[in-house]
Structure 1
Amino acid sequence: MNASVGDRLLVHGHVVGQADRTGEIIEVRGPDGSPPYLVRFDDGHETLVYPGPDAIIEPQEV
């Protein structure tokens, strides 16, 4: 999984009824676009994320 600053991260809910979470990647800390990523989620929360198989990177629209 590779990402760039400005890409969107979509994390699917783990259990039935849990909402998906989306956020903007504001910093890439791994080499060559690999995790971890500093993500600002839509609710304003910022956290360091190591995305799992339930996550999708959506490239930034140019």
Structure 2
Amino acid sequence: MPYVNIKVTDLGVTRQQKAELIARVTQALQDVLDKDPASTFVVIDEVNTDNWGSGGEQVSERRKRLGL
């Protein structure tokens, strides 16, 4: 029973993109490890950019600094 947890920032990931991630990860586990898709779980967590850091800086602050 594989369990995959994908974490992304909450910046514009669409419902369709999440559905595609779930489908492709499930297919990869079936193809590579011969896992049954019915018992494969994929969870996508969307994290606010205030709660996501890179290079010692919040992503929200980095985006402001870069004008994004």
TM-score (norm 2): 0.23
Structure with the higher fraction of residues in helix conformation: 2
TM-score (norm 1): 0.24
